[in-house]
Homo-oligomer: A and B are copies of this chain.
Amino acid sequence: MILDRINNPKDLKGLSLEELKTLATEIRNVLIHKMSISGGHFGPNLGVVEATIALHYVFNSPIDKIVFDVSHQSYTHKILTGRKGAYLSDDSKWGVSGFTQPKESEHDFFSIGHTSTSISLACGLARGRDLNGGKENIIAFIGDGSLSGGLAFEGLNVGGEMGKNLIVVVNDNDMAIAEPHGALTHYLRKLRETKGEASDNYFKSLGYRYYYVEEGNEISSLIAAFSKVKDTPVPVVVHIRTVKGKGYTIAEDNREGWHFHAPFDIETGQKKGQGIGENYGFTVRDFLLKKMAKDPSICVITPAVPMSCGFNAEIRQKLGNQFIDVGIAEEHAVTMAAGVAKNGGKPIVVSLSTFYQRSYDQILHDLCINNCAATLLVRNGSIWGDTDETHLGFFDIAMMSNIPNLVYLAPTNCEEYLAMLDWSIEQNEYPVAIRIPCNKLVHTDKQVEKDYSILNKFLVTQQGEKVALFALGDFYQMGEEFAEAIEKEFGFKPTLVNPRYITGVDVELLESLKAKHQLVITLEDGIVEGGFGQKISSFYSSSQMRVENMGLKKEFTDGVKAAELLKRNGITIENLLNKIKSYFK
């Protein structure tokens, strides 16, 4: 294998075009094989094998600096920069991060997992270069789907004015995670159809010289284009047309399904292992579809993650006006929801905890100051969600629960979740966010509350004494276990509370607990600092009641699984019992 000789981008320089092509085939095979074992961002990586080889052939990394947007398409880059071992291994564990990671290599400049940041980062690298009199090339490699993000525009707009070396490679595979959205998508299609000659060139209007590469999976075309722009004194865009999932027909034919893929059988494309079975995503989908059929003013808005609520292409099509994928544009999704609510619609935004970080100001300024009755569904706000350091769902409680007017709800099971959602859709007074449980789907046969309009009314699910456990959201089941363990160990029944509301405290309940309780323990699936438990601590800290906050330390963990996180943070029965012992010795 030629790949055997490649340990560094420099090793590419002596290869002939034929050898580079062979290398591309080898790498593609390695990627398919490895992802069939370990899963991964399939489509994006297969599409850019040639482009990555060509970049490293033409430019001199790490002097020249390549920033991969989102960076989930950086597998070939990693293979070429000293990390091929991880990809050649048959171990089902990856061994390297799925994203660029400076700790792994001097060829990676940033840990990146959110989209649309590459151009701004590149602008910064370019300005740092200019401050220090450097001469290197700065390259941002960004997919067409990421261009809909406001930050990508801000970066393009500033980069276009800087008038210095800045190379933006637009990797156009005509897809975001799902089909791309926004008017720019249609314009890019025009550019593809005219081989880059369409009038009203978006990139030129923003100050860039523009180059189009029709064959973005042909190494020779790519090398020619990159060579032309190397050492450019002005900002340029190189627009390359690639095929998502290139080289694996099953993926080329189903590009959304193969954006990310679980381990699979290479012959058939069949997923290995079991399906995930009943889950909150599909449950809410069925609920919403029924509800939307009855009420045409309900509208689901999602920033490029329609499958978050189980909406596949067919459903999206059928919903017409009632569904809008705004593309990767988390800010817009929330602000638009405020507008929909203001004009008689009932908007539901669906996104992930980590991506709502993009919408902090839109939630606060657009939605909450205006008290617009929109619903935000928050997925993966949990230790059971993504574990990559760029996708952690531990911060949303601290982020959202301290925004005035917002009602942030934490359901503890399926029935409660749907009841809260139903209430939120029907009410017209509050912006509401719902933190979707992320542990195993739990059903209850108890009656759940239908009306959540009396805010901050916590639910006591077990009346007890001495110790009260406040177990928030999907940590509620842990609360039940803890309560049992306490009773077993100490012989008294503790009080168990399902707080339901994250954004406030139930003053009446908290006061009443003082009579028969000496210790409150708060349990939350997120960082302690700025979180729910600290509101309880703050309430009680001027009284005799003792409070212990159980939750996560404020830190970025990378690839650490839920079980390990619980242990590290002392969220264990053993630790709980020890704590209680120290109070009641």
Which of A51-59, A214-222, A240-248, A527-535 forms contacts with chain B?
Answer: A527-535
How near does chain B come to A373, taking the closest CB pair, in angstroms? 12
Q: Which of B148, B335, B345, B358 contacts A132 (CB 8 A)?
A: B345
A156 at the interface (CB under 8 A from B): yes
Residues 73-113 of chain A: 1 if any B CB is under 8 Å from the residue's CB, otherwise 0?
A: 00000000000000000000000000000100000011111
Residues 329-358 of chain A: 1 if any B CB is under 8 Å from the residue's CB, otherwise 0?
A: 101100111111111110100000000011
Q: Which of B110, B112, B150 contacts A331 (CB 8 A)?
A: B150
Which of A40-48, A114-122, A249-257, A560-568 forms contacts with chain B?
Answer: A114-122
Q: Which of B130, B134, B336, B340 contacts A158 (CB 8 A)?
A: B336
A129 at the interface (CB under 8 A from B): yes
Residues 175-204 of chain A: 1 if any B CB is under 8 Å from the residue's CB, otherwise 0?
A: 000000111111100000000000111101
A571 at the interface (CB under 8 A from B): no
What is the oligomeric copy number?
A: 2
Instruction: Given A127-B345, A344-B132, check contact A402 B530 (CB 8 Å).
Output: yes
Q: Which of B112, B122, B157 contacts A329 (CB 8 A)?
A: B157
Residues of B within 8 A of A347 (CB): 124
Residues of B within 8 A of A150 (CB): 149-154, 331
Instruction: Given A120-B332, A340-B128, A395-B364, check contact A184 B155 (CB 8 Å).
Output: no
Q: In the complex, are the beta carbons of A199 and B199 less than 8 A apart? A: yes
Instruction: Given A207-B187, A534-B537, check contact A154 B554 (CB 8 Å).
Output: no
Minimal Cβ-Cβ distance residue in B for A297: B131
Q: In the complex, are the beta carbons of A335 and B155 less than 8 A apart? A: yes
Instruction: Given A336-B158, A389-B369, check contact A131 B296 (CB 8 Å).
Output: yes
A375 at the interface (CB under 8 A from B): no
A302 at the interface (CB under 8 A from B): no
Report A359-412 residues with CB < 8 Å from chain B CB: 360-362, 364-366, 368-370, 389-390, 395, 398-399, 401-405
Which of A270-278, A458-466, A542-550 forms contacts with chain B?
Answer: A542-550
Q: In the complex, are the beta carbons of A339 and B182 less than 8 A apart? A: no
Q: In the complex, are the beta carbons of A151 and B529 less than 8 A apart? A: no
Number of interface residues of A (CB under 8 A): 118
Q: In the complex, are the beta carbons of A339 and B538 less than 8 A apart? A: no
Residues of B within 8 A of A368 (CB): 556
A206 at the interface (CB under 8 A from B): yes
A125 at the interface (CB under 8 A from B): yes
Residues of B within 8 A of A326 (CB): 154, 158
Q: In the complex, are the beta carbons of B324 and A369 less than 8 A apart? A: no
A452 at the interface (CB under 8 A from B): no
Residues of B within 8 A of A187 (CB): 205-207
Q: In the complex, are the beta carbons of B327 and A157 less than 8 A apart? A: yes
Instruction: Given A200-B200, A358-B361, check contact A331 B154 (CB 8 Å).
Output: yes
Q: Which of B206, B340, B531 contacts A184 (CB 8 A)?
A: B206
A153 to B305 alpha-carbon distance, docked (Å)? 20
A151 to B186 alpha-carbon distance, docked (Å)? 19
Minimal Cβ-Cβ distance residue in B for A188: B205
Residues of B within 8 A of A390 (CB): 365, 369
A555 at the interface (CB under 8 A from B): yes
A541 at the interface (CB under 8 A from B): yes
A236 at the interface (CB under 8 A from B): no
Q: In the complex, are the beta carbons of B530 and A336 less than 8 A apart? A: no
Residues 21-44 of chain A: 1 if any B CB is under 8 Å from the residue's CB, otherwise 0?
A: 000000000000000000000000
A171 at the interface (CB under 8 A from B): no
Residues of B within 8 A of A357 (CB): 360-361, 364-365
Report A124-174 residues with CB < 8 Å from chain B CB: 124-132, 134, 148-161
Q: Which of B112, B113, B154 contacts A149 (CB 8 A)?
A: B154
A49 at the interface (CB under 8 A from B): no
Q: Which of B123, B324, B529 contacts A332 (CB 8 A)?
A: B123
A406 to B157 alpha-carbon distance, docked (Å)? 28
A341 to B129 alpha-carbon distance, docked (Å)? 10
Minimal Cβ-Cβ distance residue in B for A204: B200
- Most B CB contacts (10 A, CB to CB) among A202, A299, A361 go to A361
A500 at the interface (CB under 8 A from B): no
Residues of B within 8 A of A540 (CB): 541
Residues of B within 8 A of A366 (CB): 110, 112, 117, 120-121
Q: In the complex, are the beta carbons of A399 and B360 less than 8 A apart? A: yes
A297 to B134 alpha-carbon distance, docked (Å)? 12
Q: In the complex, are the beta carbons of B321 and A398 less than 8 A apart? A: no
A308 at the interface (CB under 8 A from B): no
How near does chain B come to A146, taking the closest CB pair, in angstroms? 12
What 14 additional pairs, Cβ within 8 angstroms, besides A150-B154, A357-B361? A110-B338, A113-B365, A114-B365, A120-B335, A124-B345, A155-B335, A155-B336, A156-B183, A157-B327, A205-B205, A360-B399, A402-B527, A529-B535, A529-B538
- A-B contacts, 30 listed (Cβ < 8 Å): A111-B370, A114-B365, A117-B362, A122-B339, A123-B332, A124-B343, A124-B345, A126-B343, A127-B336, A127-B339, A127-B340, A128-B340, A128-B341, A131-B321, A131-B344, A134-B343, A153-B154, A154-B331, A158-B181, A184-B206, A202-B206, A357-B360, A401-B530, A529-B538, A530-B534, A534-B534, A537-B541, A538-B547, A541-B546, A541-B548
The 8 lowest CB-CB distance pairs between A and B, nearest first, are A124-B339, A150-B150, A128-B343, A160-B183, A402-B530, A183-B207, A154-B332, A360-B360
